[in-house]
A and B are shown apart, each in its own frame.
Chain A
């Protein structure tokens, strides 16, 4: 039997109300808000957080990973394996199978399908297959899409032992029908919304795969505790549920007003949300849609009671930071496309540095136990040089001291820089993000987050920042 071992989500901390967006363009206010990434985030950084959290929620001895599938329709790189950046940020070993899945809004469930194939082919393997989907789709400023698109990531770790939910059945179909598209030369997504798109596309494909998995498993809609489907607007997913005979209270709320349309991340993100609420024995049906549909039926096991995501969705819904004006939001969005600071790093430099800057490895002195970041040859404490070992450093710590710096170059000054003493040892120097500057204090517990730090030479340069620990 294969199934779900762990799950996680990532919601950026920043929000903008739809009213602020709509009225900036002279439109009618809409309810709710968008979830938006900071200017230093992208699908790789969001995916890295969610993928890492699927591991961080498991004990050390159950984290061995054999594959990582990264799904996104808004990959930072057209050429360079995006998933390899995510895998390296998660410090996965070189023998891990890594692949990018894109192209469709069901890329997340397509990746889940591929992971299930891998595990089905070798159901005795102890290693996990992490599926992570992240999207930060660009909508044309002033468009209807701009009001609904949100940025987020969801991740599911599949495995063959210690399952919290067993995979009972799955179904897929493709359909060369579209209600959204973005060509190689387009900056923004084009959509064809309306009744026809909903009926011909969304309802037809999803009904087919959902009915198929129910039939394959010999269950009915009434047996399913949670129906998890993405939504591209407020109502059609409820209409779908109704047509299939699912009671409204069995449908996972997509929380349209607070979350909006999170692209290909939506099915995995909503599945994670559903798993936070289900009980042993319950059936969960999760489907993805886009140029066809995928559906998966899971049965929750007794182990669900013992599993707790380290930073669940509810924790990430707190600590919201709001862009007060559309201009500030737009500035953050544009900065990502316009900012190139000219830092050119060669692959020779990166090759030497990857272990520390991407994998967060340091050295540990075997004489006195002191840990160092970056990796050093001579211990700062006992000054021995003969026995320092490379170790993976912990990604949580506390602020030892900090500065709120108005002089440092930033699109949104001031920059808060901190010396962070990592749990287990090692001191790192990094920016404090996702917090009001006034809230930063000595002794504050923080977690490290990978961010897009600089850009130049045709590359994004990822590095670590920190933010207040969401689970503290």
Chain B
């Protein structure tokens, strides 16, 4: 029986760089900017942080596979640092592990930092690593999600114009997000006419590859309370891992992601959520591709299986809807620097819960959900934060 981790950990401060083609910054530059912004926001110095978690997927140039990337960039020395890599769910899993350490009583205050520099690579899209050179040759991120989307669309009859509605909504939100990568309004017609990437995904069905970093300072809830700030508490978290090779798994149905359902189930139990649509005020979900957001609605319990298309078509996930999804613009518009994305979701949740989201502010935001998905359903992480009145 695992111990529930709720009401014990607070988000004291958050920071986020501008996301985009950050051609003038390297990985370290962005890490320093995000960490310092989070410290300033929390009103603490780097010296007060007892440990750090670094989320990076592919640190590349100026980064390493281990935790030294953070140590060297921030001169964060002689303290524990753990590097987390869990596909595209890297950022939220780094956060989850940091929170667990505080919950376990190991530390009082720690840093979570997610960062990624993708735009100085020669390859298009994300490089696939650790796959069999023959048995998995030819796989790309859009291709893998397209296989899932095609099976889903074959089964439930979704069409491409419904996918386009997700892109239109998230781009509209992104226009209101100063730090977003692609801040432009698009129309459904534009989305449908865009060049094909991997059927059914056209260019506007795919999130961009992005540079960026985001950071959060976590501390014990009682310490945050003493500091007299808005108290943003971790209400629930969950992580579930399933096959990273659904195309080789004869049991995979490809109709959404059981790992999301399982991670959400864990988080909902801890947070006491039984009716997500009523109890959650907004969500940042992993919309790496437009269809992914649609299946996320279903797997997170916002609607029944097969009804995700209706959920977006009825406008329920817009900023004005009854459950706004991706007010930040999501991966689609805010961008997707892999290791940074999950921490960026924590940044958005905290900003919304404090009522500081400006033009994209969700009304009466008291409980927010972050959902981070790695691979085609291989790794899912769900984090629920709430504001204490």
Contact residues of A with B, CB < 8 Å? 343, 345, 353, 356-357, 370-374, 380-381, 400-408, 414-415, 417-419, 421, 425-431, 442, 453-454, 461, 463
Contact = CB atoms under 8 A, between A and B. Distances in A.
Interface stretch (B67-75, B133-141, B353-361): B133-141
B196 interface: yes
B198 A403 contact: yes
B144 A401 contact: no
A404 B248 contact: no
Contacts of B249: 380, 427
Contact of A403 (B134, B199, B248, B251): B199
Given A404-B196, A442-B151, A429 B142 contact: no
A407 B254 contact: no
A406 B250 contact: no
B197 interface: yes
Contacts of A404: 146, 196, 198-199
B198 A345 contact: no
B143 interface: yes
B125 interface: yes
B215 to A, nearest CB: 31
A373 B248 contact: yes
B124 interface: yes
Nearest to B152: A401
Contacts of A453: 134, 137
B247 A419 contact: yes
Nearest to B148: A401
Contacts of B243: 380
B8 interface: no
A374 B248 contact: yes
A454 B135 CA distance: 11
Contacts of A421: 250
Given A401-B148, A407-B197, A429 B248 contact: yes
B162 interface: no
A401 B154 contact: yes
Contact of B138 (A370, A371, A417, A427): A417
Contacts of B196: 404, 406, 414
23 contacts: A343-B133, A371-B250, A374-B135, A381-B251, A401-B147, A401-B148, A401-B150, A402-B147, A403-B150, A405-B143, A405-B197, A407-B142, A407-B198, A417-B139, A417-B247, A418-B147, A419-B147, A419-B246, A421-B250, A425-B250, A427-B247, A427-B252, A428-B135
A403 B250 contact: no
Contacts of A429: 135-136, 139, 245, 247-248
A114 to B, nearest CB: 33
B16 to A, nearest CB: 28
**B132, B134, B143: residue with the most chain A Cβ atoms closer than 10 Å:** B134
**A400, A425, A463: residue with the most chain B Cβ atoms closer than 10 Å:** A400
A343 B124 CA distance: 19
Contacts of B247: 417, 419, 427, 429
A428 B140 CA distance: 16
Contacts of A343: 133
Query: What 7 pairs between A and B have smallest CB-CB spacing?
Result: A403-B146, A429-B247, A401-B151, A405-B143, A404-B199, A419-B247, A463-B134
A357 B135 contact: yes
A427 B248 contact: yes
**A357, A374, A403, A442: residue with the most chain B Cβ atoms closer than 10 Å:** A403
A331 B199 CA distance: 25
B248 to A, nearest CB: 6
Nearest to B203: A406
A34 B133 CA distance: 33
Given A381-B250, A417-B147, A429-B247, A454 B137 contact: yes
Contacts of A402: 147, 150
A428 B136 CA distance: 9
Contact of A405 (B133, B146, B151): B146
Nearest to A463: B134
Contacts of A381: 250-251
Contacts of B251: 370, 380-381
A428 B134 contact: no
Contacts of A408: 138-140, 143, 198
**A343, A370, A401: residue with the most chain B Cβ atoms closer than 10 Å:** A401
A322 to B, nearest CB: 23
B241 to A, nearest CB: 14
Contacts of B199: 403-404, 414
Contacts of B147: 401-403, 417-419
Given A404-B198, A414-B199, A429-B135, 11 more contacts: A370-B250, A380-B251, A405-B198, A408-B198, A417-B138, A419-B147, A427-B249, A431-B138, A453-B134, A461-B134, A463-B134
Contacts of A405: 138, 140, 142-143, 146, 197-198
A427 to B, nearest CB: 4
**A374, A405, A427, A442: residue with the most chain B Cβ atoms closer than 10 Å:** A405
Interface in B129-180: 132-140, 142-144, 146-148, 150-151, 154
A357 B134 contact: yes
A345 B133 contact: yes
Contacts of B134: 353, 357, 453-454, 461, 463
A380 B249 CA distance: 7
Contact of A406 (B133, B138, B144, B197): B197
Contact of A428 (B125, B148, B248): B248
A392 B364 CA distance: 61
Contacts of A442: 150-151, 154
Contacts of A371: 250
A426 B143 CA distance: 21
A340 to B, nearest CB: 14
Nearest to A438: B199
Interface string B236-272: 0000000101111111101000000000000000000
Nearest to A356: B135
Nearest to B151: A401
B172 to A, nearest CB: 26
Contacts of A428: 135, 248
A402 B139 CA distance: 11
Nearest to A419: B247
A345 B252 CA distance: 30
Interface in B97-144: 124-125, 132-140, 142-144
A184 B142 CA distance: 45
Contacts of A353: 134
**A371, A419, A427, A430: residue with the most chain B Cβ atoms closer than 10 Å:** A419
A34 B98 CA distance: 65
Contacts of B248: 372-374, 419, 427-429
Given A374-B132, A419-B246, A401 B197 contact: no
A463 B135 contact: yes
A276 to B, nearest CB: 35
A206 to B, nearest CB: 44
B76 to A, nearest CB: 37
A427 B143 contact: no
Contacts of B150: 401-403, 442
Contacts of B198: 403-408, 414
B135 A380 contact: no
**B135, B138, B195: residue with the most chain A Cβ atoms closer than 10 Å:** B138
A407 B137 contact: no
A238 B143 CA distance: 53
Contacts of A356: 135
A281 B246 CA distance: 54
